[in-house]
Amino acid sequence: MVLSQRFTQALLWATELHKTQVRKGSGVPYIAHLLGVTSEALEYGATEDEAIAALLHDAIEDCGGRAIALEIR
């Protein structure tokens, strides 16, 4: 599968949304978690849409609620 510009845009947006967050206990940038989830999804056959969902799966809860949900939609 070749990932499109949509995936790249989602990756950049997820990075921006979570840029100030770190993983509890380790201090690792939060984007590492999102990349890990996305990697696993792709390795197990996720579509591009599912990979994008993996990148953005915490955005609503962590970064703006309904406003972010509407942007994602």
Tell me the C-alpha to C-alpha distance, in Å, between residue 38 and each of 9, 56, 66, 67: 14, 9, 23, 23
CA atoms within 13 A on the CB side of 55: 21
In angstroms, the CA 72 to CA 10 distance is 9
Provide the whole-model pTM: 0.90
pLDDT reported for residue 32: 97
In angstroms, the CA 2 to CA 30 distance is 25
> How confident is the chain (73 residues) per 10-residue block, as mean pLDDT?
96 96 94 98 98 95 89 87
- Phi first, then psi: what are they for 72, rounded to 5°? -60, -45
The CATH number corresponding to 5-72 among 1.20.1050.10, 3.30.365.10, 1.10.3210.10, 1.10.3720.10 equals: 1.10.3210.10
Run of H or E including 22: none
